[in-house]
Amino acid sequence: MFNSERLKTARERRMLSAKGLAERVGVSAVTLSKYENGHSPDDPTVGRIARALDYPVNFFFRDSPERLDTSTVSFRSLSRMRAKERRAAEAAGTLGIELYEWVGDRFNLPSADLIDLSKERHRPHVAARLLRQHWNLGDRPIGNVLKLIESKGVRALSLSEATTNVDAYSFWRGDHPYVFLNQEKTAERSIFDTAHELGHLVLHHHAGAKADKEAETQADRFASAFLMPESDLMDYAHLSGPRQIIAAKKRWKVSAMALAYRLHSLTYMSDWTYRSLCIELGKRGYRSGEPDGIERERSTVLAKVLTALWSKGLTKQTMADDLGIPLEEVEALIFSLSPNRPEPSPGLHLVW
């Protein structure tokens, strides 16, 4: 039976209005609205809808998707986001949950090991310290934040939204914390986003989502303190020039601006020095990007899953077919990873 929820999900993924899709399908907006509200289209129309949205026909006949409760989702940059961008990102979340449930049905995955720090939401630096203690991290920098949170059971997926307005978002689904990260950002920014979403997961979601500016500021402060513990940064309190900042930032895998902000917020840097530094870093291109950037972090869980599937002759296409979604959607969600295929034996050659 045709599933109207799936039609809506696919349309939102393609960032089309109901009217825009209706024109592509060759029906009236009213008719399309009926399809999205429970009326089943005939087979030729379903075919036209599938072609217009570039989704497999069988996608529209699967069970209702697990639509996100949007009130429980924390977006990184809500204010800049347009409604259709938000809906497209949320629809990606819907597909991401299905994908991870597909994986979870077949694989043993790390269990969630996060603690409820909502009581410390007004002291994000304390929350960051407590989480580091809980995970026995001490004050050392974290070489791979995505790998760390995955080892603690956070389910990380990627977003390939062609907009810089959608950074990242997170939510709890049952016992499973989810984080979605846009891959359009610099690697350093993405790492900060990861820590920011981790902040939301421990500070806000247990107490219900608070998609307000204060919650965003708290998550930012959590991320800053979690990535750059004061005790570790103390050795670098003398940093002041742009060259020093650019050289030092690699230790914490953060942007030059984030390091400068942290040093300033800890009063290791005067207002005047901070302002001058921001201007100088901006001139060097560090406001909009991260010249000489680091390698992007990718999902360790999904890389292992793909490699394990490959060993059984299964591929991303298998995943896409099972889920009834286009391969490109799967790739967009899994950080465009490819399985680590075993190296061919040197004694073997392809014979044409």
Residue type at position 298: R
For residue 216, the minimal CB distance to another protein (Å) is 27
Q: Where are the alpha helices (DSSP H) in 204-315?
A: 213-227, 230-233, 242-248, 256-265, 271-283, 300-311
CA–CA distances in Å: residue 31 to residues 3, 23, 190, 334: 15, 11, 41, 35
Nearer to another protein among residue 109 and residue 211 (C-beta): 109
Contacts to another protein by CB under 8 A: 105-110, 133, 136-144, 147-148, 150-151, 229-232, 234-235, 251, 253, 300-301, 304-305, 308
Nearer to another protein by C-beta: 232 or 280? 232
> What are the distances in angstroms from CA 159 to CA 86, 96, 231, 342?
12, 9, 34, 28
Q: What is the 3 state secondary structure string of 175-210?
A: CEEEEEEECCCCHHHHHHHHHHHHHHHHHCHHHCCC
Dihedral of CA 334/199/257/232: which sign?
negative
Q: Smallest gap, in angstroms, from Cβ of residue 252 to another protein?
A: 8
Q: CB burial class (10 A; 0-12, 13-18, 19+) of residue 89? A: buried
Pairing status of strand 155-159 against strand 176-182: parallel
**Sign, Cα dihedral of 246, 250, 251, 253:** positive
Residue 240 buriedness (CB in 10 A; 0-12 / 13-18 / 19+) = middle
Min dist. Cβ of residue 132 to another protein (A): 8
CA dist 75 to 177, 205, 258, 298, Å? 14, 12, 19, 20
CB of 189 to another protein, least distance (A): 18
Cβ 143 to another protein shortest distance, Å: 3
Q: Which CB sits closer to another protein, 34 or 132?
A: 132
- In the complex with another protein, the residue whose CB is nearer, 28 or 340, is 340
Q: Which is nearer to another protein, 40 or 307 (CB)?
A: 307
CB of 316 to another protein, least distance (A): 16
User: Which of 32/154 has CB closer to another protein?
Assistant: 154
Q: Which is nearer to another protein, 61 or 135 (CB)?
A: 135
Least distance (Å) between residue 283 CB and another protein: 29
